[in-house]
Structure 1
Amino acid sequence: MTTTAGADDVHELLLSHVDRATVGALDDPAVVAAVVAVERLVVATGSTNPELLRDALEGRPVTGADANHLAELVEEGRGHVSAGLIRRASGQAVDAGVVNPASGGYEITTDATLLRAAVRAAQGSIDAMPYYGARYGARGSRFATTDSAWLISLAPLEPERAVHQVEWLARVLAARGMPSWLLEIHLGALVTEVRSVVGPAAGTDPEGEPAADDAEAVGSLPAAALALATTRRQHVDDDLMRTAERWVDEALGAAQPVPRTGALLAAAVADTSAGVTRDDGSLVDWLTDPSRASDTVARELREVRRRILAAAL
């Protein structure tokens, strides 16, 4: 727990970043934590208005936003900034542990603009796929953010090396119930976010360094996304993904455990067929668990899985 002075320092640091004006490389762990915390509020509120973000930080109502969710994000952000101040005082470097203590401290981008893009891509992907929140909760959200920031750090690598690293992450996540199709989507969102903030090179950046264009900023990330998609499509193409969704929708409608259950099942079959993971038990067992699926629902899901396997390439 922070002291009163420490709490004031944390609050002021967060407020100082609601304008989202900080650019360039960040070497202060507390500033990294503040930038991430504010950007998560941007996603949660759907606004970049500094006054609205200030309201969120100070606990005032924000129209259209979930007050409880905002309060949780603010509390978590304060904790990360507080820990960042301790890191700053002890001279510790920036790594994923700044905003995700369970991460083990792997490398993340320290460019402020790209870090914000990573947060938006991660949280946007989570919001678009309710499975993440239903299964992995706040812990999953933190890992999505730091994984996203790590992925951006791969952009400067040669395509072969970047693809190798992304395929490694895909295997890790697939074994934990996240089909590599989800990472494929995340990479696409990440590339879009980076391109939205890094335009064609012209002159210098605010620190006087040559400006990067979007091709340089996204680097090998499009190649990595394509590699995942190509591997998946060799076994489960886009048509079968859509068909699997239709099968589940027709069989269960709103009774399916999470939206897009059919696509998740198809993506897991693709991973098993491609050797990304040994089996799809982690996903299938979760979807058919009695706590979220009746016997009838579980039976229908297994039947859809059987049909996917029969139709897979």
Structure 2
Amino acid sequence: MTPPEHTDDVHELLLAQTDRATTGALTDPAVVAAVVAVERLVVATGSTDAHVLRDALLGRPVPGSDEAQVAELLAEGRSHVAAGLIRRATGQAVDAGVVNPASGGYEITTDATLLRAAVRAAQGSINAMPYYGARYGARGSRFATTDSAWLLSLAGLSAERAIQQVEWLSRVLAARGMPTWLLEIHLDALVSEVQSVAGEHAVGSLPVGAAALAGTRRQHVDDDLMRSADLWADAALGDALPVPHTGALLAAAIADERAGVTRDDSSLVDWLTDPERVSASTAAAVRAVRQRILDEAR
């Protein structure tokens, strides 16, 4: 909840970002929070029009958008901007905790243009892969944003150092049920977003990191097997498919195990076959698809 003494300041900071004209390095935590909050509304409303964004901030209906989602994002954005104002008053620096209090406060890009690109790439990946929302909910969306902003802070590193950092993140995420393939395709989306607004030079070593992840995966599960796995799962499960791309997720988790990224694929498989979520017949079909992938994997 926004403290009453900050309500007007929060409102003005958010409204000030609806033109999305702020550029350069940001040092004010409250402004960072406002930039992220407004960009999340850009994705939710599907519009970059300042008038549309102002309507969303003022609680007016925006045609074509999910009103409940917009309201949730707005409430969260207000809370983060209010926390940013407290950070400003106490002289605290900008870190991931500004827009994701559960993050632990790691480094993120502070460039306004790149920060917006990070938000768009994060939400684009969330929307393209319903597994994120089904398993991790709003918490997953927040971490996607700050992880994207952290990844952009690696762009200036050497290729070797960037690969080390990307591989470290892949291990952390894979252990939590997010196969490395998801980070691989997210990095591709992030690179594309950054190139579109800041040019080729701004992506730095990030494409090398994505290529390293893909190269490791393909040693065990190539792109053809990823596509086949999806077809097998769709055919075997039909309307009982736990989430879209169940087959590819299973194949990606197997690749991680074979590559030594994880000890096994239980974090994903246990979730896909959870008896509280799926029937026994669905769980058996998922395991049968998994075995078929195992038989084909290198």
Q: Which residue of 2 aligns with 1:259?
A: 244
* Kept after mapping to 1: 8 A contact 2:114/2:194: yes
| d(CA) in 2 for partners of 1:40, 1:52 | 13
| d(CA) in 2 for partners of 1:58, 1:255 | 40
| d(CA) in 1 for partners of 2:253, 2:89 | 45
Q: Which residue of 2 aligns with 1:47?
A: 47
CA shift, 1:302, in A, is 0.3
Match of 2:232 among 231, 238, 247: 247
TM-score by length of 1: 0.94
| d(CA) in 1 for partners of 2:254, 2:3 | 52
CA shift, 1:292, in A, is 1.8
Aligned residue type for 1:298? A
| d(CA) in 1 for partners of 2:273, 2:56 | 38
Q: Does 2:91 correspond to 1:91?
A: yes
| d(CA) in 1 for partners of 2:233, 2:104 | 38
CA shift, 1:290, in A, is 1.1
| d(CA) in 1 for partners of 2:178, 2:56 | 31
Question: 1:312–1:23: structure 2 CA closer, same or farther, 3 Å change rule?
Answer: same
| d(CA) in 1 for partners of 2:295, 2:198 | 44
Task: Kindly provide the CA deviation profile for residues 106-135 of structure 1, in whole angstroms up to 9, marking residues without a partner as x.
Answer: 000000000000000001000000000000
| Runs of 4+ residues deviating >3 angstroms | 1-5
Matches within 5 A, 1:118-137: 118-137=118-137
| d(CA) in 2 for partners of 1:284, 1:123 | 25
* Kept after mapping to 1: 8 A contact 2:221/2:255: yes
Q: Which residue of 2 aligns with 1:56?
A: 56
| d(CA) in 2 for partners of 1:44, 1:108 | 22
Q: Which residue of 1 aligns with 2:150?
A: 150
Compute the RMSD of aligned alpha carbons.
0.7
Matched pairs, number: 298
Partner SS for 2:59: coil
* Kept after mapping to 1: 8 A contact 2:109/2:152: yes
Q: Which residue of 2 aligns with 1:105?
A: 105
CA shift, 1:8, in A, is 1.1
Task: Kindly provide the CA deviation profile for residues 168-201 of structure 1, in whole angstroms up to 9, marking residues without a partner as x.
Answer: 00000000000000000110000000000013xx
| d(CA) in 1 for partners of 2:272, 2:55 | 38
* Kept after mapping to 1: 8 A contact 2:253/2:265: yes
Partner SS for 1:265: helix
Q: Does 2:271 correspond to 1:286?
A: yes
Aligned residue type for 1:33? A
Q: Which residue of 2 aligns with 1:296?
A: 281
Q: Which runs of 5+ in 1 are unaligned?
A: 200-213
CA shift, 1:82, in A, is 0.2
Q: Which residue of 1 aligns with 2:82?
A: 82
Q: Which residue of 1 aligns with 2:166?
A: 166
CA shift, 1:164, in A, is 0.3
TM-score by length of 2: 0.99
| d(CA) in 2 for partners of 1:255, 1:112 | 43
